[in-house]
A and B are shown apart, each in its own frame.
Chain A
Amino acid sequence: SQKIEQNSEALNIQEGKTATLTCNYTNYSPAYLQWYRQDPGRGPVFLLLIRENEKEKRKERLKVTFDTTLKQSLFHITASQPADSATYLCALGRGGGNKLTFGTGTQLKVEL
């Protein structure tokens, strides 16, 4: 069955450092992968989408890589700030506006 795994433990880093979050998947051939941010008691907020034929995508301090051979995506936040503290979810989709399958999320805490 399909499985999407993210760092199960919380990630604590110091302000200014680069945070790297991992999303691994098995038994799935996604057309694209998305990253979302979720704050406690709130709905997810869309951050980035990367397609299967793209290796890397950037948006301001965010960078996403997608390796379909390794079946892995890495999500980087450079120059991290305490305001970046949240849970980050990866989600996979097959395209055509079809449904997304979400990972369990990684909680990031950026400390002063």
Chain B
Amino acid sequence: GAVVSQHPSRVICKSGTSVKIECRSLDFQATTMFWYRQFPKQSLMLMATSNEGSKATYEQGVEKDKFLINHASLTLSTLTVTSAHPEDSSFYICSARQGRSDEQYFGPGTRLTVT
């Protein structure tokens, strides 16, 4: 149980284009989903917290107009990187929480490369 999937697993895009990443909870309903970014040899940095049916809460320093998050259902959240630049190249990981549980279940991650 508690499986989270992400799609795509890898994406390469050109500078200036937008990329959408999907995060799905496969066998549970996720009231809250989290989006993280991880650069090589570094830890996970939380970008935003997404609650179903409401606007995402962004961490300090994360541009909400650049990283658009939508959590339209209890099993799906999407992150859209708009007008991507090479410095946005990173490993993006989502996690999901069931109800009020403190445990988070992570997706396998999406490797984004912007050329």
Residues of B within 8 A of A97 (CB): 31-32, 97, 99-102
Report whether B44 and A89 are in contact in the complex, using a CB–CB cutoff of 8 Å: yes
Per the 8 Å Cβ criterion, residues 2-56 of A in contact with B are 31-32, 34, 36, 41-46, 49
- Chain A contacts with B in 53-102, Cβ cutoff 8 A: 89, 93, 95-97, 99-102
Choose among A34, A42, A93 the residue that contacts B109 (Cβ–Cβ < 8 A).
A42
Chain B contact residues (Cβ within 8 angstroms of A): what range?
A: 20 to 34
Hey, which chain A residues are within 8 Å of B4, CB to CB?
43
CB-defined contacts of A100 to chain B, threshold 8 Å = 34, 46, 104
In the assembled complex, the Cα of A61 lies from the Cα of B77 at a distance in Å of 35
Name the prevailing secondary structure of the B interface residues.
strand
Cα–Cα distance between A102 and B31 once the two chains are bound (Å):
21
- Which residues in B have some Cβ–Cβ distance to A below 8 Å? 4, 6, 31-32, 34, 42-46, 49, 91, 93, 95, 97, 99-109, 111
User: Whole-angstrom distance from the CB of B66 to the nearest CB of chain A?
Assistant: 20
B99 to A: closest C-beta gap in Å: 8
Residues of A within 8 A of B106 (CB): 36, 43-46
Q: With contacts A96-B100, A97-B102, A99-B34 known, is A41 near B44, CB below 8 A?
A: no
Residues of A within 8 A of B104 (CB): 34, 46, 100
- Cβ contacts under 8 Å, B34 to chain A: 99-100
* A34 contact from B43, B45, B103, B111, Cβ within 8 A: B103
> A residues touching B (Cβ–Cβ < 8 Å)?
31-32, 34, 36, 41-46, 49, 89, 93, 95-97, 99-105
Complex-state Cα separation, A49 to B91, whole angstroms:
25
Q: Which residue of A has the minimal Cβ distance to B94? A: A43
Q: B43 to A105, Cβ gap below 8 A?
A: yes
- What are the residues of chain A within 8 A of B32 when measuring CB–CB? 97
Point out which of A36, A45, A97 has the most chain B C-beta atoms below 10 A from its C-beta. A97
Q: Which residues of A contact B93 (CB under 8 A)?
A: 43-44
B contact residues around A44 at 8 Å (CB): 44, 93, 95, 106
Pick from A32, A89, A103: contact of B102, CB below 8 A: A32
